[in-house]
Structure 1
Amino acid sequence: MLLHKGFIGKVDYDDRARQLVGEIVNSPDLLEFDGNTAKEIHKNFVKCVEDYLIINQESSNQEQGATSFVGQYSLSLSSNVLNRVMRKAKREGSSIETWLNRWVNSSLTDYFTDE
């Protein structure tokens, strides 16, 4: 886990890309970063946060601003759905939590792009 200015980064290893990949898990926006070494992933995480803060500061949507949040939502899945999610996450080399977060982010990106 990485921490910078209240933003939390979670890092996984992508075996297909043979690269460390990270995601900021407590941002209202999808923020991702990557690197080949621990030093590089940390540097790119900090840069991602700093760039995000600058972009939000400069944007016309200043009333919202860039904020981090820490929140949890419990999700109850049927055993059949949970089994399918576990198998899909395992095939992709992800944890269930990471896979679900990516799926939700992808679905929301598609939804808000269509508006």
Structure 2
Amino acid sequence: MKYLEHKGYTGSIEYSPEDKLMYGKVLGIQGLLSFEGETGKQLEDDFRSVVDEYLKTCKEEGKIPEKPFKGSFNVRISASLHQKAALRAMEERTSLNSLVAEAIRFHLSREEELA
């Protein structure tokens, strides 16, 4: 397992040899939510507790919790690459967004095939 999952949130898994401690942070949000444990079980338990506490605090304060990986993001590329991609999308009678999404799917599927 590369990541931890709980209530739609994803946590990283890292190890510090110096501290002999596992640690991680919640990914895909701007706020810093970190967790740790000496064992895998402790790490998982702390991750779930951190997410649950975050959601509880947001509710108590009347705030909307950040949603990880909302499905939209900005990509910065060169003007020439932007032009080529936009023209290709027009040729294929699709949107630039669809072209980029397909390119990402293709890249990730190739990566999975190699694993």
TM-score, normalising length from structure 1?
A: 0.56
Structure having the higher Rg: 2
Identity over aligned residues, as a percent? 26
> Secondary structure at 2:66's aligned position in 1?
coil
Higher relative contact order (CA 8 A, sep 6+): 1
Aligned to 1:66, the other structure's residue is in SS state coil
Distance of 2:75 and 2:60 partners within structure 1: 35
Does structure 1 residue 6 correspond to structure 2 residue 8?
yes
Residues 48-86 of structure 1 deviation map (CA, whole Å, 9 limit, x = unaligned)? 0000000111115x2xx113221666689xxxxxxxxxx
Unaligned runs of 5+ in 2: 78-115
- Paired residue total: 73
TM-score by length of 2: 0.56
Q: Write out aligned runs for 1:1-115 (5 A).
A: 1-60=3-62, 62=63, 65-70=64-69
1:16 to 1:9, Cα distance in 2 relative to 1, 3 A: same
- Any runs of at least 4 consecutive aligned residues in structure 1 with deviations exceeding 2 A, and if so which? 71-76
The one-letter code matched in structure 2 to 1:51 is: E
What RMSD in Å do the two structures reach over aligned CA positions?
2.0
1:15–1:73 Cα change, 3 Å: farther
